Each structure stands twice: as structure tokens, then as C-alpha cells.
Amino acid sequence: MSDKSGTLTDGQKRQFVTEGYLIMKGLYSPNELEEIERTFEEISHRFIPGHFEPVLNASSADPLSRYPRVMQPHRFDETALRYMLHEPVLDVLTDLFEEEPLAAQSMFYYKPPGSRGQALHQDNFYLKVEPGNCIAAWLAVDSADMENGGMLVVPKTQEHEIVCPELADESESFTKHLVKVPEGTKAIPAVMEKGDVLFFNGNLIHGSFRNKTKDRFRRAFICHYAGQSAMRIASHYRPLLRADGSVAETDINHEGGPCGVEFEALYPH
């Protein structure tokens, strides 16, 4: 763990606290981005049970059957683990949590041309970090805009409670849940250049639309973190890892959340 403190300016911290998100540049070098691209290009040709299950010779109309997202790659790939624990990202998170961050989840989205988006949702509905909250670090491996299905955020909704989602339109979203944009708020595009990292609060409503392009992937390496004072988290996200890769003790959060304990298919988000 780095002993650096004060990575963020007061303005950047204020942006995160008041708006619920923050975009940072320059946390990855061109060589590091290239290593991430190479790693997931290699993974894209494999079948890794429980993590990445593509139809490798897919002729399906759904581009996501050939390129589903990769779940928890840090559990089978050393490079993914190293970048989930990337020091410049952890330094930003230390400022945002005001304590040591613990890594809970990694994912890689290929989001090829034509693929569906992910309907608006709140991450801590799924992670159930308590006490405190989770924070996402979303790395743009390709530049991301509204044409290729870049991220949408609803500023200031980090102040809102976690709500029980409605059903999403699965012809447009590959996930089942939708949290509607609350009255008086608006979803705005988070336009990002390759290498930018979007940090956002676990209550912030966010998601993405379809990749409307014919030839531009929208790849992203996405990790979720909790603060070290978190005592419980949903079981799929354990074990939480410290910066040196060691396991931090946490309990399973069995609470049902705003939909109640009967709600099925809480995971994956």
C-alpha cells in the first residue's frame, strides 16, 4: 500500500462529494494500457468456466454471445489482479474513502459494435457494502462516447437511497434491472478518452446505452472497492483484497436490501 496521501485536489474531492463521480486522467501509462489490451485480447479466445463463457464460433445476431463480459478476471489472471491493485488508482481511492481501499470485484467489458448496453442501476444494491459504500473505478480502454455506448451518470444521485429496481427492456440492456432517473435529475454522458478513469459512488445511478457503431469496440476494465471499515459485503464479492494482495476479513451481508430477502437474482449486476 502506498503511503502517499493527498493525491486529489480539493476541487476534485469536492466534485466527487457533490456530484457523485470524478474523471481522472493519466493514471495509466500507454504501456500499461497496452498490456491490459493484450491480456484481454488473449482471454477473448479462451473459454474460462464461471468467468468468461463466449460462444467462440458465434453466428448469433447478439455480439455479446461472442464477447460477454469477463467476470472477476483477477481470480485467474495475474495481470488483471495487478491492475485491480494499480497503485495510482488505489491512491485516488484512499482520498475518496479517506481510508485504505479494499478491492472487491474486477470485470472487463468488450462491448463490441452493435451490443446492448447496461440499464441504469446503483452498484451498492448488488455489493451491499456495510457500513459505508462501494466506489467503482471504470477505466476506458477505448475512448467512450454516446456513439459506442459510453457511460451515463445521473449527477447528485449518490445522495439518493438504494431503491428496488424495476425490470429493464432486455432488448436494449443485457441486465434485467432498471432504476429510473429520479424527478429533477438527468442522465448525462461521461465522455472519456482512452486511459481516463471514472470513479463513482455506489449509490450513483449510472449505466450505458447500446454501442451504435459498426466498427468501434468500447472496452472497459471495471473494478469495485470498499473502504477498510466495511464489515459486510454480498458473498460474490469476497474475499476483499488489500493493496498487497492479502485478504481482508469481512462477513457476508445476507440482508435482502430494498427489495426484501425474497428477491431473486441479485447478482450479477
By the criterion CB under 6 A, which residues form the site for ligand AKG?
109, 117-118, 123, 136, 151, 206-208, 220, 222
The minimum distance between CB 224 and ligand AKG, in angstroms, equals 7
The minimum distance between CB 63 and ligand AKG, in angstroms, equals 14
Considering beta carbons, is residue 192 or 240 the nearer one to ligand AKG?
Answer: 192
The minimum distance between CB 217 and ligand AKG, in angstroms, equals 12
The answer to whether the bond into 112 is cis (omega within 30° of 0) is no
Which of 126, 153, 138 is closest to 223 using CA atoms? 138
Taking the C-alpha atoms of residue 222 and residue 187, their distance in angstroms, rounded to an integer, is 20
The minimum distance between CB 126 and ligand AKG, in angstroms, equals 8
Q: By three-state DSSP, how is residue 247 classified?
A: strand
Considering beta carbons, is residue 94 or 148 the nearer one to ligand AKG?
Answer: 148
Tell me which residue has its CB nearest to ligand AKG: 208
Helix (H) or strand (E) holding 38: helix 30-43
Backbone Cα Rg of the chain: 17
End-to-end CA distance of the chain: 29
The minimum distance between CB 117 and ligand AKG, in angstroms, equals 6
Considering beta carbons, is residue 39 or 173 the nearer one to ligand AKG?
Answer: 173
Considering beta carbons, is residue 8 or 104 the nearer one to ligand AKG?
Answer: 104
> 147 vs 114, 116, 117, 150, CA distance in Å?
10, 12, 12, 7
Considering beta carbons, is residue 128 or 206 the nearer one to ligand AKG?
Answer: 206
